[in-house]
Amino acid sequence: MAEEGKQKPTRLYKAWKGSNKFFCWGRLIFGPDASSLILTILLIGGPALSFCIKVLHTINVNKKDGKDSDYWYIVLFVAAILTCLDILFLFLASSRDPGIVPRNTKPPESDEAFDMNTPSMEWINDRTPHLRLPKTKEVIVNGHPVNVKYCDTCMLYRPPRASHCSICNNCVQKFDHHCPWVGQCIGLRNYRFFYMFISTSTILCLYVFGFSWVHIAQNKDGVVKGLQKDILSDVLIVYCFITVWFVGGLTIFHFYLICTNQTTYENFRYRYDKKENPYHKGILRNLQEVFLSKIPSSMNKFRAFVCEDDSMATEATCTDNVRTSKEKIDIEMGNKFSESSGISLPEILQNLHYDDLEGNSKSKEGTVDFDVHPSPFIYDLSPRNVMTGEEIIAHETESLHQV
């Protein structure tokens, strides 16, 4: 009954081992640095809103002067649509599962076990302290051999192209990178939205940059006077000029990665330009894979109920290793230790009086040993002159009655 009481069903997102942040009861998943989204939204929305205000001012001025301002309404509408799309793609990239691989609660069964200690694996499975798993395994991808690595944190062999993100503490399918501006890992399930986000940001920058120059060029006193008077347009031009180099460079770089079917991680680590890329399918098929293929469903059901004991399996194995000093070298535990490890305790240790050792450490709890300095290597089996706390209390009570 006690064991059944410990198994409290809870939502998976509440017992999640990664560093992610969940909102809307597990429906939205963000990275641990999700607060950076506020800064990103401000960097997008602030200049865009300023530009829209400038366009509205231009429309009002043209109306007073009796000029046609219909095309400025179109400029305003397009700017608003680009801004909304940009923020929407940002939200879609940051609030969804990027392709997290569910971690195991115990290591996989190894076909090859070596009879040697592996300290890094002892915490995973206390019953198999001699288990050693190979760090890499070779799999065939499109006829090419690819090494997949074992993840000590997730206790699994990562799928091809997957990698463990140290920030989110998850293994992610087709891991590209962890984007601080998005506040999320970029992987298999959100790469499309990430690329749409940076490409839309590039278009928005170019759009605001171009029409800010139009505002200045329409000044009656000329471009130079327009630059001196229209401070807001000057700021927008400088801001967009600087920003477009960043987001535009990212857009071009990731377009190259898409065409060659690479990830940022693979490009910097494996350098497929020097060897054959096993994932390259041709430019058209690579583009189709990113933009037109169906996004696979998440491997995690964050709102599903799980047993709390199962979710804390790895922590439980750590606490199981903490034993009392008596249990570690107890006579009765000697057989258990020798059976599990194949090592027999020396006879001198098997004949130790552990009660004496425990007696001194627990004297404050009511057990008194009259042997003040017991030797840990005494193994005489004769009975000891030891009184428990209850016997002392009974003896003192009897003495009081006699008085």
Which residues have a catalytic role annotated? 179
Give residue 335's Cα distance to chain centre.
42
Helix (H, G, I), strand (E, B) or coil at 42: helix
> What is the distance between the alpha carbons of residues 115 and 201, in angstroms, rounded to a whole number?
57
Which strands make up the sheet holding 163-165, listed edge to edge? 100-101, 170-172, 163-165
Helix (H, G, I), strand (E, B) or coil at 137: strand
Check: CB of residue 64 under 8 Å from CB of residue 200. no
> What is the distance between the alpha carbons of residues 69 and 63, in angstroms, rounded to a whole number?
7
Helix (H, G, I), strand (E, B) or coil at 253: helix
Question: How many other β-carbons are positioned within 10 Å of the β-carbon of residue 359?
Answer: 19
Question: How many other β-carbons are positioned within 10 Å of the β-carbon of residue 236?
Answer: 23
Among the listed residues 266, 279, 275, the one whose alpha carbon sits nearest the alpha carbon of residue 176: 266
Apex 54 CA angle, 53 and 57, nearest 5: 90
Check: CB of residue 17 under 8 Å from CB of residue 315. no
> What is the distance between the alpha carbons of residues 122 and 128, in angstroms, rounded to a whole number?
7
Look up residue 238 and give its amino acid: V
